[in-house]
Structure formats: C-alpha cells, structure tokens
Amino acid sequence: MRGSDFMELRAFELVARRMSFSKAAEDIGISRSAISQTIQSLEQRLGVRLLNRTTRSVALTDAGYELLMKLSPAMIELVSAVDNLEKFRDTPAGNVKIVTCRLGAHLYVERIIGEFTQKYPDITLEISTNDEAPDLITHGFDAAIREEGMIDMDFIALKLPEICGLGLVASPDYVKQYGLPRTVADLEQHRCINVRRFGHGHPKTWELANDDQHASVNLIKTLIVNDHELAVAAAVQGAGVGLVPETYVTGHIDRGLLMSVLPGWKVRLPKFRLCYPKLKHKTVAFSIFSDFICS
C-alpha cells in the first residue's frame, strides 16, 4: 500500500465516523478543502461514490458503508500500534478530550487537574462541561463523566471513587428568621432548595439517610434550580434549606456563611463513571488520564 493510499483511507474513515468534513479535517490537522480533495481522489481511484454530500450534511452510500465496516477495525489497530509507541518516550504526550456534567467536573476533574498537568505536561487536556450528554463520536470526545444510569449499553464504564454525599445547609439569616429544623419532619414546614438534574424530572421528595435510619421529606415549599452551585448561592442568600454536595460548602461553613442542618442526615450522590464507546481506540494519553482520575 502506498502512503497516499493510507492517507486516503484514513481521511475517509474519519469523515465517515464523524459525519463532518470540518471535524475530520480538524482531527488530522489539515484544511477542509484538502480532506475533501483526498476523498474525491479515493472515489475516483475506486470508481465508486462513497459519500453523499450536501452543503449541510454528509451521508454514507451503500459502498461507503461496506468499506467503513471493513476498514474501521483495521484502522483502529493501525492507529493503536502507532500510538503505543508513546510508551517509549521519556515523557508521555498526546491529547485527551473529555466532556462531563458540571457536578462531575467539580467532584472529579477539579481535584486532579493541577496534579495531572504538572505530572504530564505534554498531555493536552480539553475539558468541556455539558449536562445534556452529547454524542461522544460526533463531537470528537474521548470519554465522558456521567451518572451510572445515563450510560449507553455499548459503552465501557470505569468506576470513579465516591467523593461525598449531599448534606443539608442554611444561612444564619434564614435560621434566625424561620428557625432551625430539629427533626427531618420539620423540613416539610421550611422552604427547600431543590436541584432538578437533567433527565431526572422534578423530584417531589428527599430520601434522607442517617446510618441505618431512613426518612422521606415531602417538598412542599420549594425553590427549583438546575445547578448545585446556584443552590448554594441561594442558600447563602437565605432562600431556604439546601441539599447540596458537602464539598461545595465546606468553605462557606468555615466562613460562617452557611451552617449545617440536621448533621448526619444525607443523600448519597449517584455513582459516576468515566465512559467511552467499546470500539473507541484508547490512546496512551487517554489510558494515563483514565488511570489517574479513577484512582
């Protein structure tokens, strides 16, 4: 196989997988016009059309689909063989592109990002926050941090450590005006700040636990937000009793901006996983990142 043959096939595989000339061109660092010309050259050499193009979309022809099904496994092996040579470098290098919900970024990325970038200065991290679970392949992500219940069946899911739970807090001003809840049942008479997470609807209750004790709180007077940081800000301003990640409010409690309510009563956070498609090639850089964040 000539070098130009490999480049043509690589360009086709990227465009077919990404369904975008622009994104495929960005992946291999060439212009959109250059990758378009490369595909045209391949089609002319083979004598068949592989892609149907319009100004807004790209679609595989039957011939293109058949070629992609045969080509992708081989291309993954070839790229993997080259990328694995990274282990012989003195310093690992490469790019890792991750998408995560905002809570996942706070719990897992913030705690390791400084140490990781210092230890692996030649690995470029690109971290995006998005609570709507975008398609990884379409957007060119290597992996995502997602709640366990939001992971596709054809993904590999790596376990992330459990960091903290959700605890109850309120501002001193709120407690001064409305009193401090003494029991879980008292919460039903208070304004509660509720977080509606993407894809979960609006929970009507808080299911709290204190060791072996369990209690359900009906949320009657509520302020509804879709972000835990906004819930913390609302609690600081006296809007009600918030149920928020404990790591979010440690500093607020130390500074006297918030106080714990019913210490010991908590909600366990959902389990998070680092996930990626089963057919996704794992680069050395991504393997290093996944081992680091999962430890």
Specify the CATH number for the domain of residue 112.
3.40.190.10
Contact 94, 286 (CB under 8 A): yes
Please, which residues have CB within 8 angstroms of residue 15's CB and are 6 or more apart in sequence? 21, 24, 35, 39, 51, 58
The total number of structural domains that make up the chain: 3
* CATH code at position 51: 1.10.10.10
Contact 261, 217 (CB under 8 A): no
Please give the structure tokens belonging to residue 265: 């009563």
Range of the domain at 54: 3-85
278 with 264, same domain: the answer is no
Q: What is the pLDDT of residue 283?
A: 83
151 with 200, same domain: the answer is no
- Mean pLDDT rounded to a whole number for the chain: 87
Please, which residues have CB within 8 angstroms of residue 114's CB and are 6 or more apart in sequence? none
Please state whether beta strands 94-100 and 51-53 pair in parallel, antiparallel, or not at all (unpaired): unpaired
Q: What is the pLDDT of residue 144?
A: 94
* Predicted model pTM: 0.66
144 with 288, same domain: the answer is yes
Mean pLDDT score, 18-31:
84
Boundary residue ending a domain (28, 58, 85): 85
Mean pLDDT score, 244-267:
94
> For 53-110, how does the pLDDT look when each residue is reduced to its tens digit (9 = 90+)?
877 788 899 998 898 888 888 887 777 777 666 666 657 888 999 999 988 999 999 9
276 with 131, same domain: the answer is yes
192 with 248, same domain: the answer is yes
169 with 32, same domain: the answer is no
* CATH code at position 188: 3.40.190.290
72 with 127, same domain: the answer is no
CA distances from 24 to 66, 278, 281 (A): 19, 20, 16
8 with 137, same domain: the answer is no
Boundary residue ending a domain (51, 85, 119): 85
11 with 70, same domain: the answer is yes
Q: Tell me the angle at which helices 3-18 and 32-46 cross, rounded to the nearest 10 degrees.
A: 110
76 with 97, same domain: the answer is no
152 with 278, same domain: the answer is yes
175 with 191, same domain: the answer is yes
